[in-house]
Structure 1
Amino acid sequence: MNARVDDPLLNAALDAPQTPCVTPHEFFLPGSGEAGRTGVLLVHGLTGTPNEMRLLAKGLNRGGFAVYAVQLAGHCGTPDDLIRVRWTDWTASVHAGAERLRAQVDRVVVMGLSMGAVLALELAIARPDLVDGVGALSATFRYDGWSIPRYTRLSFLLPLFRLLGIGRRRAFMEQPPYGIKDEALRKRVVEQMNSGDSSAAGLPGNPWYAVIEMHRLSSHVRRRLQSVRAPCLVLHASEDDISSVNNARLIARRVRGPVSLVLLHDSYHMITIDRERRTVTTLATEFVGRLAVDADGTAAA
């Protein structure tokens, strides 16, 4: 019998065992056949939403895999919601999501975009028992891409600002090209970001206090990358405007598990929705499929 808790969203999930979702913005796609024994946990980025993983999720699900796109704490709401949480709240979201997904499948692969990639690696470090593979897409340990304004190099001062109570309402606003090389798609996404509905395309800027937490998460994971022994797929745009390819190379250099590093040449940061989204989906599906084969000794189909 499922235990009851003082959380109506979680109770709803317990009453519906076919889905691990606990918020209205998360989504779950059940798997099929032998492939359905493998689940993929998708993790969005800072100020993002599960929506930015939807195209990838559908592609993975067409391969038969179960897919769960989790929502990070503080996201899909207001800037105030985001700055109330700490980086450990984001890791708790991912850990809980992995546990809920693992209850329905035999193995879990975690894939994240941008900061979500760092959170995916953190899960592999902290809970190797839950992780059979990692997909790091546009991994962002540092905002060092070519579109990042020079003044953001002063972000090391942000912890002092918070200590002094300065900048609670301030944010680093997104800059063109907003991580998207496809101009028509970029226009639609920017309209959504500015619509006031953060659950559709995220917030139009990164609150200073949230950036502080992202830096702390990044530092925590960088120091422990050598603990990652799960196979890793690392996908990164060679012209990433938000995070340079050095972020991807850091993973390839430090993790202990087998690494496949692939650079994309016709996309910017948001590779799950940009021009090479089909390539990303194909590579991700093949990666998960190989892990399923290795685990079973037979092809997942």
Structure 2
Amino acid sequence: MPVLPGAEPYHHEGGDVGVLLCHGFTGSPQSMRPWAEHLAAAGLTVSLPRLPGHGTTWQEMSRTRWEDWYAEVDKAFADLRGRCAEAFVMGLSMGGSLALRLAEVHGDAVQGVVVVNPSVVGDTPLLRLAPVVKWVVPSIPGVAGDIKKTGVAELGYTRTPVRAAATLPRLWKLVQADIHKVTQPVLVFHSRDDHVVKPASTAFLRARMGQNLEIRELTDSYHVATLDNDAPVIFEGSLDFIRSHASVPLTKDL
């Protein structure tokens, strides 16, 4: 299946500190590319994979499930850890949920986590009904493109494959059940105005996590904040986070 131009994965070989970036549901690496390039320019080794079924057609995505998306980031994380002394994981929306799951599963192998408008709670009625709706309709209107900044577009599907969406509740339940295992430093960027993920996800993390959690509010962006007005805040904030928590130099000695 041909990949849409701009939706290709991105990799950069840098120093001994690595970063894995996870894009969101029905989105593509395009929504994370500027962030990835910013981290790469700072000397980091960066991995931004394309999740199965994403960046092609929603019909292809309909044949995938959350286990496929997690398997892809898990594989990318293993590769990153094999090349770097330390690794951080970061994600947008559902990608934030995948990043937190990696931290739950891999423990101290994950040095820290940064998530932007993470989706960890099923607070959208239509998605909660997806396991039933999938037998009635193949797709519903898409959720991509929630951006405040004029002239900026997200490369994502205009339709949401219901069969794929129906697998999300299982991912959310696992992340919720094991969130106590995340003892690494976690930084959450939360858009005050988000038309895709409701405040319940950030509220859940605030209620269930300890002093290792920091939440920063974004005041001038919608859901896809990595492409929005507050993107520089995210890029610099995540880089400062890495500098604060990495125990080895970010760049290789020349």
Using the size of structure 1 for normalisation, the TM-score is 0.76
- Do the aligned residues in 2 keep the contact of 1:264 with 1:276 (CA within 8 Å)? yes
- Deviation, 1:183, is 2.1
Identity %: 31
1:115 to 90, 94, 98: 94
Which residue of structure 1 lines up, in the alignment, with residue 54 of structure 2? Answer: 75
Paired residue secondary structure (2:36): helix
Is the aligned partner of 1:244 residue 2:198? yes
Paired residue secondary structure (1:183): coil
Alignment of 1:32-43 (within 5 A): 36-43=15-22
**Aligned residues: CA RMSD:** 2.0
| Change over 3 Å in CA distance of 1:61–1:257 after alignment to 2 | farther
Structure 2: distance between partners of 1:250 and 1:89: 25
- Deviation, 1:92, is 0.7
Structure 1: distance between partners of 2:184 and 2:45: 19
Structure 1: distance between partners of 2:212 and 2:245: 12
Structure 1: distance between partners of 2:128 and 2:239: 38
Which residue of structure 2 lines up, in the alignment, with residue 136 of structure 1? Answer: 115
Instruction: Report Cα offsets for 1:16-56 as digits up to 9, x if no partner.
Output: xxxxxxxx82111121xxxx110000000001111111111
- Deviation, 1:257, is 6.3
| Change over 3 Å in CA distance of 1:279–1:273 after alignment to 2 | same
| Change over 3 Å in CA distance of 1:122–1:107 after alignment to 2 | same
2:67 to 64, 88, 92: 88
Which residue of structure 1 lines up, in the alignment, with residue 229 of structure 2? Answer: 275
- Deviation, 1:118, is 0.2
Using the size of structure 2 for normalisation, the TM-score is 0.89
Alignment of 1:77-226 (within 5 A): 77-142=56-121, 153-162=125-134, 165-167=135-137, 169-174=138-143, 178-185=145-152, 189=153, 201-226=155-180
Structure 2: gaps (5+ residues): 1-6
Higher helix share goes to which structure?
1
- Do the aligned residues in 1 keep the contact of 2:100 with 2:175 (CA within 8 Å)? yes
- Deviation, 1:256, is 4.5
- Deviation, 1:143, is 6.4
- Do the aligned residues in 2 keep the contact of 1:41 with 1:67 (CA within 8 Å)? yes
Is the aligned partner of 1:29 residue 2:12? yes
Moved over 4 A (4+): none
Higher relative contact order (CA 8 A, sep 6+): 2
- Deviation, 1:98, is 0.1
Structure 1: distance between partners of 2:120 and 2:244: 27
Higher-Rg member (1/2): 1
